[in-house]
Amino acid sequence: MNKLESIDLNLYYSDFHALKNVSMAVKANTVAALIGPSGCGKSTYLRTFNRMNDLIDNVKIDGGVLLDGKDIYDKAVVTDELRKQVGMVFQKPNPFPKSIYENVAYGLRVNGINNKKILDESVEKSLQQSALWDEVKDKLKKSAFELSGGQQQRLCIARALAIEPTVILMDEPASALDPISTSKIEELIYELKKKYTIVIVTHNMQQAGRVSDYTAFFYMGSLIEYGETKEIFTNPKNQQTQNYITGRFG
Amino acid sequence: MSSTIASRKRRNEQIAFWLFRLLSFGVVAILFYILYFLVSNGIKAISWEFITQMPEDGMTKGGIYPAIIGTLYLVAGSMIFAFPIGVASAIYINEYTKDGVLKKIIKQMTNNLAGIPSIIFGLFGMALFVNQLKFGDSILAGSLTLGLLALPVVIRTTEEALKAVPDTFRQASLGLGASKWQTTSKVVIPIAFPNIITGLILSIGRVSGETAPILFTVAAYFLPKLPQSIFDQVMALPYHLYVITTSGTNVAESRPMAYGTALVLIVIVLIANLLANALRKYFGKKVKMN
C-alpha cells in the first residue's frame, strides 16, 4: 500500500502556480528523492505532506494528498496531529536554544508527556537512532548550540524521531554540512528507512543516487518523471530529466 | 589626468569622513555638556536628607522624597498596565494576524499612537480616567495615562523582537506537533525575551520623564504626606521640577533644589537602564545562539 500519495495536486501562492497537477505515490519504508533546479517546486511539494505551506499567507491548494489512504487536507484533520505522524528535518540545523535533552523531549512535552521516565527513555532511544547518543550521552544538559553543525542536524533528526512519526520529510538536510557529516546523515537515512518512510529534497545528484529508492524530477512546478532511482539515473525517459541529471542545466 | 580624479576622490572622501566625525562628536559633546551642567549644578543639592526628607519652607529647603516615591509608583503602575497589554498585542499582531488589511490598520494605528503629543494623552486621561471613570486625580489615573503613552513603544519594540526570531524555529516547533500558542510561549518568546526587555527599558525612560500626561491626572503641587492608596495623588519628579522652576514661592531660592531634582531624575532613568540592560544580558546568555 502507498504510504503517501498526491492526486492532481495544484498549489498557488497568490497568483503563482507553484505545483501543477502533481500525482505520485511513495511506498512505505522507501526513500523518495525529489530533485530539480531551484524554484521547481520540490520543497513546496515536500511541505504539502505535513501542511507546512498552511503557514504561508495566501496559499491555495486543490487536489488530494493522502497519508495511509486518508486525505490530510480534509476539514476534520487537525494539523498538530498530522505533524506528529509526519516529522520534518530542515535545511539548516535548527535546534532550539535549549539543552540537548530538552530539544529531543520538546515534541513529547508539547504533546502532554512529562513523565520523566518516559522522557528519559525516549530521549536515549531517539538519540541512538540518530547515531548521536555516544557523542552526547555525558552532556545532555549542555546547550544544543555547543554541538557541531553535523551533530546539530542529527539532533534535529532525533527530535523528529522522538514523537514516533511514520514519515520523515527532509528538506536538503545535508546542504549546510561538511562531507563527513553529510555521509553520516546519508548512512542514517539508509538505517532509518527500515522503520520510516522518507521523502528527501536534495540538490545533490550523487546524494539522490546514493540514498533513494525512487526519484522524482520536478521542473517549473510539474512532475516531469518519477521512477526507480536506478532507472532515472541510467535510463531516463524524458529528455529534460536526462539534461538535468547529466548537468546540462540546473 | 586620472591622478587628479583620484586625488579629488580622496579629498572628498576626507571631507566626508571629517564632517561625519565632527557631527557625531558634536552629539556626544552636547550630551556630555548636559550631564556636566546637571551634575555640577545639582551635586551641591544632593544629600541623604535631600532624597529622604519631605520638602520644607515652600520647597526651598528639605528634600524631594515624596516626588521620588511618586515617580517610582507611576513608573511601576504604568508598566504593570502597559507591559502585558503591549506584549500581548505585539504577539497577536506578529504571530497570529495574517498579512492583510487588519494587520495594516493595527500597525498604522500603533504608529499614530506613538506620534500623539503627550499633552493630548494628558487631556484624554483626564477625560476618561479622572472624570468619566471617576478615579479622580490619582495614581491609578496617572498610571493608566502614562501606560497609554508607553503602549506603542512596548508594542513596537516587542514586535521587532518577535520579528527577529528566525521562522525556522517556529517551523521546527510546529513540525513537531506543537500548537501555535505552545510554539509562541515555549520557543518564540524565550528567544525574543532579551529584546522585549529593551522595550521595557525604553518605555521606563520615556514614562519617568513625562510631565504633560500627569499634569491633569495625578500630579500634586505639594503633599504633606505620602500616598496611602492608588486613589491618592502623588508628587512626581518631572512635575516637581516644573513647579519649583516656574511657580514656587521663591523660584530663585528653589533653583539648587531644581537642579538636584533634575539630577535625581536622570540618575533614576540611568539606573533603570542599567538594570534592564543587565537583565537583557542575563536572559540573552540563556538563549545564546551561534
In this structure, are B80 and B140 located in the same domain? yes
Quick check: A93 pLDDT over 60? yes
Mean pLDDT for the stretch of residues B135-141:
91
In this structure, are B199 and B124 located in the same domain? yes
Residue count of chain A: 250
Tell me whether residue B100 is exposed, middle or buried, using C-beta atoms within 10 angstroms of its C-beta: 0 to 12, 13 to 18, 19 or more. Answer: exposed
Cell of A165: 512519526
Alpha-carbon distance of B256 to A70, in angstroms, equals 81
Amino acid B288: pLDDT: 56
> With bands split at pLDDT 50, 70 and 90, how would you rate the model's confidence at B155?
very high
Put simply, whether A158 touches B (Cβ < 8 Å) is: no
Q: Are A167 and A196 in contact (CB under 8 A)?
A: yes
**Could you give the percent of chain A with pLDDT greater than 70?**
99
User: CA nearest B78: which of B208, B194, B201?
Assistant: B208
Alpha-carbon distance of A13 to B155, in angstroms, equals 30
Could B287 and A57 be called an inter-chain contact, meaning their C-beta atoms sit closer than 8 Å?
no
In this structure, are B75 and B2 located in the same domain? no
For residues B102 and B28, the model is more confident at B28
Look-up of cell digits 514586535:
B159
Amino acid B2: pLDDT: 65
Q: How far is CA B232 from CA B43, B70, B229, B240, B265, in A?
A: 31, 10, 6, 17, 22
**What are the phi and psi torsion angles at A48 (to 5°)?**
-75, -25
User: CA nearest B173: which of A227, A59, A80?
Assistant: A80
Q: Are A170 and A89 in contact (CB under 8 A)?
A: yes
Cell of A86: 509526519
Q: Are A232 and A241 in contact (CB under 8 A)?
A: yes
- At A39-62, the pLDDT tens digits run 899 999 999 999 999 888 889 999
- d(CA A94, nearest CA chain B) in Å: 6
User: CA nearest B285: which of B193, B162, B186?
Assistant: B193
In this structure, are B106 and B238 located in the same domain? yes
**What are the phi and psi torsion angles at A191 (to 5°)?**
-65, -45
Other C-beta atoms closer than 10 Å to the C-beta of B133 total: 12
Q: Are B123 and B187 in contact (CB under 8 A)?
A: no
Contacts A92 to B, Cβ<8 Å: 168
Alpha-carbon distance of B151 to B78, in angstroms, equals 9
**Could you give the percent of chain A with pLDDT greater than 90?**
76
Domain assignment of residue B54, given as a range:
48-286
Alpha-carbon distance of B215 to A150, in angstroms, equals 61
In this structure, are B19 and B129 located in the same domain? no
Quick check: A176 pLDDT over 80? yes
Amino acid B272: pLDDT: 83
Task: For Cα atoms A189, A140, A96, give the angle at the middle one, nearest 5 degrees.
Answer: 70
Alpha-carbon distance of B270 to B13, in angstroms, equals 37
Q: Are B143 and B82 in contact (CB under 8 A)?
A: no
Question: Which residues are paired to A170 by β-bridges?
Answer: A89, A200
Q: What is the CATH number of the domain that holds A80?
A: 3.40.50.300
Residue A179 covered by a domain: yes
What is the value of pTM for the model shown? 0.83
Contacts B186 to A, Cβ<8 Å: 106, 110
In this structure, are B38 and B53 located in the same domain? no
Going edge to edge, which strands form the sheet with A214-219?
A70-71, A59-67, A2-13, A16-27, A222-228, A214-219, A31-35, A197-201, A167-171, A86-89
Give me chain B's average pLDDT, please.
88
Quick check: B59 pLDDT over 70? no
Q: Are A186 and A131 in contact (CB under 8 A)?
A: no
Put simply, whether A42 touches B (Cβ < 8 Å) is: no
The total domain count for chain B is 2
Could B177 and A159 be called an inter-chain contact, meaning their C-beta atoms sit closer than 8 Å?
no
**Most confident among A99-108, A186-195, B59-68 (mean pLDDT):** A99-108
- At B234-244, the pLDDT tens digits run 888 999 888 88
Which among B170, B174, B187 has the least Cβ separation from residue A83? B174
User: CA nearest B256: which of B26, B22, B60?
Assistant: B60
Put simply, whether A13 touches B (Cβ < 8 Å) is: no
In this structure, are B155 and B16 located in the same domain? no
Alpha-carbon distance of B256 to B224, in angstroms, equals 21
**Could you give the percent of chain B with pLDDT greater than 90?**
49
User: CA nearest A106: which of A133, A83, A137, A129?
Assistant: A83
In this structure, are B36 and B61 located in the same domain? no
Quick check: B54 pLDDT over 90? no
Question: Which residues are paired to A87 by β-bridges?
Answer: A168
In this structure, are B72 and B35 located in the same domain? no
- At B81-123, the pLDDT tens digits run 999 999 999 999 999 988 888 888 988 998 898 889 999 999 9
The total domain count for chain A is 1
Contacts B168 to A, Cβ<8 Å: 90, 92, 94
Could B172 and A81 be called an inter-chain contact, meaning their C-beta atoms sit closer than 8 Å?
no
Mean pLDDT for the stretch of residues A192-212:
92
Q: What is the dihedral angle through the alpha carbons of A164, A167, A170, A173, rounded to the nearest 10 degrees?
A: 40
Put simply, whether A56 touches B (Cβ < 8 Å) is: no
Q: What is the CATH number of the domain that holds B61?
A: 1.10.3720.10
> With bands split at pLDDT 50, 70 and 90, how would you rate the model's confidence at B78?
very high
Quick check: A196 pLDDT over 90? yes
In this structure, are B148 and B36 located in the same domain? no
Mean pLDDT for the stretch of residues B192-201:
86
In this structure, are B35 and B67 located in the same domain? no
- CA B134 to chain CA centroid, Å, is 27
In this structure, are B53 and B36 located in the same domain? no
Longest dimension (CA), chain B: 82
Residue count of chain B: 290
- The packing angle between helices B251-286 and B189-209, to 10°, is 180
Amino acid B224: pLDDT: 78
Mean pLDDT for the stretch of residues A76-84:
91
Quick check: B290 pLDDT over 50? no
Contacts B169 to A, Cβ<8 Å: 94, 96
User: CA nearest B173: which of A125, A108, A136?
Assistant: A108
- At B244-279, the pLDDT tens digits run 888 767 777 788 888 999 999 999 888 888 887 888
Domain assignment of residue A58, given as a range:
2-96+166-245
- Which residue in B has a C-alpha nearest to residue A95's C-alpha? B169
> With bands split at pLDDT 50, 70 and 90, how would you rate the model's confidence at A216?
very high
Contacts A160 to B, Cβ<8 Å: 175-176
Contacts B194 to A, Cβ<8 Å: none
